[in-house]
Structure 1
Amino acid sequence: MLRNSLPTIITDKVPGPNACVLLKKRDNALPKALCGYTYPICIKRGEGAMLEDVDGNIFLDFIGGVGVLNIGYSRPEVVKAVQDQAEKYFHCIFNVVAHSGYIELADRLNKLMPCKGDKLKTFFANSGAEADENAVKIAKAYTGRKGIICFSGAFHGRTNLTMALTAKKSYAKGMGPFPSDIYRAEFPYLYHAPKGYSEQEAIAYYLDKLNTLFDEAAPASDIAAMIVEPVQGEGGFVPAPIEWVKAVRKICDDNGILLIADEVQCGNCRSGRYYASEYWKEAGAAPDIIATAKSLGGGVPISAITAREEIMDSVPVGTIGGTYCGNPLACASALKVMDIMLEEDYAGKAEEIGKKATIFFSGLKEKYEEVGDVRGLGSMLGVKFVKTKAEKEPNGELVSKVIQNALQMGLMLENAGTHGNVIRFLVPLCVTDEQLEKGFEIFETALVKAKSDK
């Protein structure tokens, strides 16, 4: 079975001949912006953590659909759940016709989400960007304020609003004007804190910068919400330090500001908890609103927004909802994904995989000058590449070589970070021990080869 296979490349190189034909057809039919060759892979089928391309090459996927495939490719029970729902009805717009899948999924998330408050409510959208945008709308409705604080390194999507919230402006080039009243503070990236600072001093430094924003950009009384990723994704897989989160929670409470946790990528068991905000709640700093997507539906598009009742019920009629939001097929998939993740302890799987990966990546850090940092939460890890450990200069060129070398050996990797010098680890949580070890072997081989390629 493919799900138990190991990486195997049977063509002289990747892409193989069949993939080349399909990619050429793609280039003629699609916008150039969607036609890159960093990953010249054309999928034929996928199972577990593995995929087979149209030439018969078999790849181990350490990208996992950028966080969508925590449960893996083509889980049979999820496939059947979607098939069973499709035999009943494909679609009904929930604003007009209610369906039980939507209601059941919302009810279950209300019991699961680690939001602040006793009684929660949930509604659905289709993508992570929509979830973040709706979270902002809710915050504005509840507070009556317009300002939003986001952070350096953040990625929140590609809609007009979420492009404005996203830090890396290559995602927004030529797309303005953007909404006003958006303010950016510096994220507590401890690896790049001022030299010689202790962790406590670094956190105080970043909090001072945040508080300065209230004096120099917008008063706290104008701010509706702060939006934070518990682990930054595109920003380089940087966890928000818990002591910083606790301080931010207090700032929000003292000033009537809502705290939004963007769990689009880090949610759904990736962090070693079902939702990474559980770590926040355990520390007494639960967010007011959680937005999640990606692995919620196991590959079928769906996102969720959850908050306590008083916040949710402040939203004016007509300002939330949409044609496909909470689609019956997506809800059926999400319910079955949740069943499996809870029954098989996928959060525990993430924790165990993360421990093994951390040991391996930390070993690389000890062996190679170019591996500057290893960080993350659970099984959402980033390996940061630098030119020298002392100066911490980004080494995106080396990362590009590692990715291409690994691809030719059957391992799919992806970069992250402002300078593209972080390799992200998002392997499906159903990966086998043998596959994981093989992936680590290929990773190091690809790194050694990249170092020798001048």
Structure 2
Amino acid sequence: MGTETTAAARVHCQLPGPRSRELFERWAKVEAQCTGYQARVCWDHANGVVVTDVDGNTFIDWTSGVLVTNVGHSHPRLVEAVQTACAKLMNNYECLNEPRVNAAEKLVQILPAHLDKCFFLSTGSEATEACIRLMKRKSGKFEVISFHGGFHGRTYAALGAGGLAGPKKGYGPTLPGSIRVPFPYCYRCPFRASPETCDMLCLDYLDDAVRANSTGSLAGVIVEAYLGAAGFIFAPPGWFPRLEQWIRDRGLLFTLDEVQSSFGRTGKLFAMEWENLAPDLVALGKGIGSGVPASGVAARGEVIGVLGPGEMSSTMGGNPVACAAVVAVVDIMQSEKLHDNALRMGEVMKARLLQIQEKSPYAGDVRGRGLVMGVELVKDKKTKEPAPDLTRKLIDVAAQNGLLIGSVGVFGNVIRVAPPLVISEAETHESLDIFEKSLAQL
């Protein structure tokens, strides 16, 4: 147990509080209720890792929105940069503005050297959609390999590449040319194999999938650096380099979806750095704006250079406010070394979570790196039967105790552990104490 406490979490009423309850009732009358399951807390303001609701309760945040506020909620330097930009110029579409130039230079400077060009958009879906289009345009082919459990957004091509049923339910045929193959979900291996002995059987299956499904028009491969919506699933060491070699051997293009994993989340600025991957295209989002809507594509110049004037644009992409935010985020990440803090606090988190796993009958698996970890809840550790109902209950119990958590997973049974990267060791231990207490109360 943590010996130091920050007393950041203080909940003084039964949730939802009276003001929150009133706002939830008003909201339900006017907006479609189609968002994911969350604790019944109406946020008012947040600083660092601490969220205050409209009833004055305070919580430690393990969600970062949804892996967005990497530099912390309302970081003073980010707030100042955005306020200054808003007061000067908010949108000028495709006309050039200085913040856009500054942001592009700043981004290319921190990217691996082979990614020498970028283009700004406004959402992660926009970025992955652009990457898919670019692979098709550059190759002159239309088929794209993606992975079971993958999530690349809710737009048409992104949905087609995705490997989850939920986001596609009821929408009819998805994008032609999508070939989906298994990702190494070692806790629930689709081949019923063991990671110690399988020699990455799922990679060998790629050729079988191509032979069975391709028309001979393969453009490329898109894959997340880790599966986010499927449950924070990380491939075993060596899997990505072997995948990249498979791609290169066949002359295909390689897109890495780093919408979730970039900007320090895994303990490095970009997850591709862990195994020195060299993708042709990288989708960026979420942490790039740390709360301000922003996204982008990082690319080899010869790949994105296939587009001519007027062939890719975005109404909000590259606007001065978002670009000012990108510059501020990069400066904060570098000056405060937040990726290093993510690595250190992630080690503390994982060590404690593994201890909690040993004691809890419900914590079936703990996985992750840096400050992105998943705790998969099961009804029985031997059968691994998913426990989505228990997961939803834990979200509510943890909130009542002062910790905001969310769920992901193919079965909706994985707790996402993804606090802002500014979390201190004291806040880390306090949040872990609350999590352990809440799990024991189930």
Q: Which moved more, 1:51-60 or 1:395-404?
A: 395-404
Corresponding residue of 1:17:
18
Q: Give distance in 1, aligned partners of 2:237 and 2:252.
A: 19
Rounded Cα–Cα distance in structure 1 between residues aligned with 2:437 and 2:137: 53
Alpha-carbon distance in structure 2 between the residues aligned to 1:200 and 1:448: 35
Distance 1:208 1:200, change over 3 A: same
3-state SS of the aligned residue for 2:421? coil
**Larger displacement relative to structure 2 (314-323 or 379-388):** 314-323
Q: 1:35-46 maps to which residues of 2 (within 5 A)? A: 38-46=38-46
- Structure 1 segments unaligned to the other structure (5+ residues): none
| Preserved contact between residue 374 and residue 384 of structure 1 (Cα < 8 Å) | yes
**Structure 1 match to 2:429:** 437
The aligned amino acid for 1:25 is R
2:161 is aligned with what amino acid?
L
How far off is 1:399 after superposition? 1.5
Please name the residue that 2:365 is paired with. Answer: 373
Which residue is 1:207 aligned to?
A: 203
Identify which of 236, 241, 255 aligns with 2:236. 241
Distance 2:7 2:81 in 1: 25
Task: Tell me the equivalent position of 2:396.
Answer: 404
1:218 lines up with 2:214 in the alignment: yes
The residue aligned with 2:58 is: 58
How much does 1:248 deviate?
1.3
- Over residues 159-212 of structure 1, what are the superposed CA-to-partner deviations in whole Å (9 max), with x where a residue is unaligned? 122122222221122223321001100001122235563435241x10121111
Match of 2:98 in 1: 100
Worse-matched range after superposition: 207-216 or 293-302: 207-216
Q: 1:114 to 1:392 in 2, by over 3 A?
A: farther
Secondary structure of residue in 2 paired with 1:201: coil
Per the normalisation by structure 1, the TM-score is 0.93
Q: What code does the residue aligned with 2:306 have?
A: S
CA contact (8 A) 1:229 1:240 kept: no
* d(CA) in 1 for partners of 2:287, 2:350: 22
Question: Residue 299 of structure 2 aligns with which residue?
Answer: 307
Which shifted more, 311-320 or 41-50? 311-320
CA distance in 2 between partners of 1:379 and 1:232 (Å): 15
- The answer to whether the 8 A contact 2:231-2:374 is kept is yes
| Identical aligned residues as a percent | 33
CA RMSD of aligned residues (A): 1.6
What is the number of residues matched between the two proteins?
Answer: 436
Cα distance change on mapping 1:218 and 1:195 into 2, 3 Å: closer
* 166-175 vs 62-71, which moves further: 166-175
Structure-1 residue corresponding to 2:84? 84
CA distance in 2, matches of 1:196, 1:185: 16
Aligned residue identity for 2:209: L
User: What is the CA–CA distance in structure 1 between the aligned matches of 2:33 and 2:107, rounded to whole Å?
Assistant: 39
Deviation larger for 231-240 or 354-363: 231-240
Structure 1 residue 37, shift from structure 2 partner: 6.2
* Pairing 1:355–2:347 present: yes
Aligned mates of 2:378, 2:181 — CA distance in 1 = 25
**Amino acid corresponding to residue 103 of structure 2 in structure 1:** L
Structure 2 unaligned spans of 5+: 1-5
Letter in 1 for 2:198: E
Write the mapping of 1:256-267 to structure 2, written as runs, cut at 5 A: 256-267=251-262
1:141 and 2:137 matched: yes
Per-residue CA deviation, residues 390-416 of structure 1 (Å, 9 max, x unaligned), is 222212222222111101111111111
Alpha-carbon distance in 1 for matches of 2:159, 2:23: 31
Matched letter for residue 104 of structure 1 = N
With normalisation by structure 2, the TM-score equals 0.95
